[in-house]
């Protein structure tokens, strides 16, 4: 009787324990090269950085590196980097969400494809080329500045300069807004027309639909996108390095200085401690992003 039941279960498509084990093995073997690659180039270096951050110059276990990064200029670098991430995320998320809404609700299918492709290119544009583009256009003698001067508007008449904190935020908007469009558009696309029709049949006005249905559904995706933008701006290095020339203390730039060999006494592993601090802050931003996105997909699918 037991044998017959077992055979019936297997015949109906429920895998036995041996079949399930072979299935897992067949899935794991193709992933083995990827896991080896990640282990060698990602997990192993990260583990070594974490271990060395708790060692002194003499190789002894110590908290000297952690206490060092809590003092200036490293403390100010963390403050500036967090501030840059927050300001950049705020200034990019709101217009990016509005553009994504207009494109998804009012744009044609061809326009959505064009904007999506263009946003993908702009979101991955950064570093020295991006800095050069803005210097050539919005530098003190840039082409765009000259045109604005002829129109009667001199953006450098006040205290603005492209090589300042505000200038970095402006440059970051170049890739932050397209990134917001990419990650937030699926959430707007997930607002189904049937939900709006149902609310109208129940007597709700459009503003009531967005207040009680649309915005509560979009809020988790907006929060997740905001955290992603924060992490993107917080960890950016090449663009900030080219724009500031080191006159603004940022954590990625401080790590770059230490990697370049600008090491002070008892700070040989300070750069690794800074890297651990960046990983912790980025994890604080990215883990809620992943959790929120996972829950948001339940109603988007």
CB 249, CB 174: distance < 8 Å: no
Q: Look at the chain and count its residues.
A: 301
* DSSP symbols for 153-178: --TTSSS--TTSHHHHHHHHHHHHHH
* DSSP symbols for 221-244: HHHHHHHHHHHHHHH--HHHHHHH
Identify the pLDDT of residue 43.
87
Identify the pLDDT of residue 1.
46
Is the model's pLDDT at 264 over the cut of 70? no
CB 144, CB 137: distance < 8 Å: yes
Q: Which residue has the tokens 């954590």?
A: 251
Q: What is the pLDDT of residues 89-115, one digit of tens each?
A: 999 999 999 999 999 888 788 888 888
pTM, full prediction: 0.79
Q: How far is Cα of residue 32 from the mean position of the Cα atoms in its chain?
A: 28
Euclidean distance between CA atoms 235 and 252, whole angstroms: 7
Identify the pLDDT of residue 11.
47
Identify the pLDDT of residue 205.
84
Domains in the chain: boundaries: 15-52, 64-130+161-300
Q: How far is Cα of residue 116 from the mean position of the Cα atoms in its chain?
A: 17
Identify the pLDDT of residue 262.
58
Q: Which CATH number, 3.30.300.30, 3.40.50.300, 1.20.1510.10, 1.10.3720.10, labels domain 64-130+161-300?
A: 1.10.3720.10
């Amino acid at each position: 009787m037991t044998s017959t039941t077992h055979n019936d279960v297997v015949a109906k498509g429920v895998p036995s324990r041996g079949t399930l084990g072979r299935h897992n093995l067949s899935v794991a073997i193709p992933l083995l090269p990827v896991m080896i690659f990640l282990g060698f180039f990602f997990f192993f270096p990260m583990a070594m950085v974490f271990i060395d951050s708790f060692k002194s110059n003499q190789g002894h276990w110590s908290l000297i590196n952690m206490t060092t990064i809590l003092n200036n200029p490293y403390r100010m670098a963390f403050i500036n980097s967090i501030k840059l991430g927050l300001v950049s995320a705020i200034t990019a998320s709101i217009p990016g969400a509005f553009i994504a809404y207009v494109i998804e609700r009012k744009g044609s299918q061809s326009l959505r494809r064009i904007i999506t492709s263009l946003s993908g290119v702009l979101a991955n544009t950064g570093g020295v080329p991006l800095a050069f583009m803005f210097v050539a256009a919005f530098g003190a003698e840039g082409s765009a500045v000259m045109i604005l001067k002829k129109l009667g508007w001199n953006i450098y008449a006040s205290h603005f300069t492209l090589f300042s904190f505000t200038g970095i935020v402006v440059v970051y908007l170049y890739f932050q807004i397209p990134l917001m469009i990419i990650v937030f558009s699926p959430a707007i696309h997930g607002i189904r027309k049937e939900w709006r029709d149902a609310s109208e049949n129940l007597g709700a006005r459009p503003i009531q639909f967005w207040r009680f249905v649309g915005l509560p559904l979009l809020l988790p995706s907006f929060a997740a996108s905001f955290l992603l933008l924060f992490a993107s701006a917080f960890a950016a290095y090449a663009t900030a390095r080219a724009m500031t020339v080191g006159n603004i203390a940022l954590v990625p730039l401080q790590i770059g200085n230490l990697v370049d060999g600008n090491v002070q006494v008892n700070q040989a592993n300070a750069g690794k401690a800074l890297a651990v601090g960046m990983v912790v802050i980025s994890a604080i931003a990215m883990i809620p992003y992943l959790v929120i996105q996972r829950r948001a997909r339940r109603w988007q699918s």
